[in-house]
Structure 1
Amino acid sequence: MRFATVLMVALSAATSGFALTKKGGNATTYDPGLGSCGVFSTAAELVVAVDAHTINNFPGAGSDPHLNPMCGRKLKVTYKTKSVNVKVVETCPASKCKVGSVELSPTAFKHLAPLSVGTLHNITWTLL
């Protein structure tokens, strides 16, 4: 019985995932579509593209981006006093996103600021 309890706790910890927080990045918008995670998303959904360095080096990431363990996970993105929870569906290329930066769907971005702002500086995001 005790072994079964320990095993259940260990499996639960493994599936709850890896904790990660990034600070000081930027957030911009993008037009979602078929993302690197293999999921089609729309501008109306609360979705995010994570910087290539972070998603490609996430524990368990391999050569197939569809199987990246960060895909489908939720991030809490914070800008000043506002936050939004978004689902990881895409990789933001290094040419667009430095480490810690993200691209948000227009709907997600509007939870933090008007689209006219363009770029949000000094965001924080946490993997939930």
Structure 2
Amino acid sequence: MMFLSIKSLTLATLLAVPGFAFTGDVTFYTPGLGACGRLNGAGDLIAAVAAPIYNTFPGATANPNLNPICGKKAKVTYQGKSVTVNIVDKCPGCGATGIDLSPAAFVVLAPQSVGRLKGATWTIL
């Protein structure tokens, strides 16, 4: 029997594990036309995931509009509160595992005045 350490797993491998929870910062942004080619607004429950996750999602190609992560749901949890969002964009400034939410999604977790939620978890559903 072979065991893999977490260090030997690639991001693409982790993305294929159902229910794998990422830990990272949560921020919010002003939505518009996202990497998935969809137009969204501040009142939509949407998210932009960290660029490394978006770019290495299984089945991703050079055309970001066709990325299989587009339209998937993610559950974001912070201090006992959760929100479910649709993934519609990628976030180049979110580090390796952060997620950027629309204002409507962010305020489910905390007031916008907080600005950044450190240590939140999120899972692609």
Deviations 1:58-113 (A, max 9, x none): 100010000000000000000110000000010101xx111110110000000000
Query: By how many angstroms is 1:22 displaced?
Result: 3.5
Unaligned segments of structure 1, at least 5 residues: 1-16
Match of 1:71 in 2: 70
Instruction: Confirm or deny that 1:121 pairs with 2:105.
Output: no
1:13 equivalent in structure 2: none
AA of the residue aligned to 1:37: C
Which residue pairs with 1:39 in the alignment? 38
For the residues of structure 2 that align with 1:87 and 1:32, how far apart are their CA atoms?
12
Q: Is the 8 A contact 2:78 2:109 kept in 1?
A: yes
Q: Unaligned stretches of 5+ in structure 2?
A: 1-14
2:103 aligned to which of 102, 106, 109: 106
**Contact kept in structure 1, 2:23 and 2:122, CA below 8 Å:** no
Give the TM-score normalised by the residue count of structure 2.
0.84
Separation in 1 of the partners of 2:19 and 2:54? Answer: 11
Please tell me whether Structure 1 or Structure 2 has the larger radius of gyration of its CA atoms.
Answer: 1
> Which amino acid letter does the alignment assign opposite residue 113 of structure 2?
S
Q: How many angstroms apart in 1 are the aligned matches of 2:65 and 2:55?
A: 11
Matching of residue 92 in structure 1 with residue 91 in structure 2 = yes
- Counterparts of 2:22 and 2:62, CA distance in 1: 27
| 1:20–1:37 distance in 2 versus 1, CA, 3 Å | farther
Contact 1:74-1:86 at 8 Å conserved across structures: yes
- Following TM superposition, the consecutive aligned residue runs of length 4 or more in structure 1 with deviations greater than 4 angstroms are none
**What is the one-letter code of the residue matched to 1:29?**
F
In 1, Cα distance between equivalents of 2:66 and 2:88: 11
Count of residues in correspondence between the two structures: 110
Whichever residue aligns with residue 60 of structure 1, its letter is: G
TM-score by length of 1: 0.82
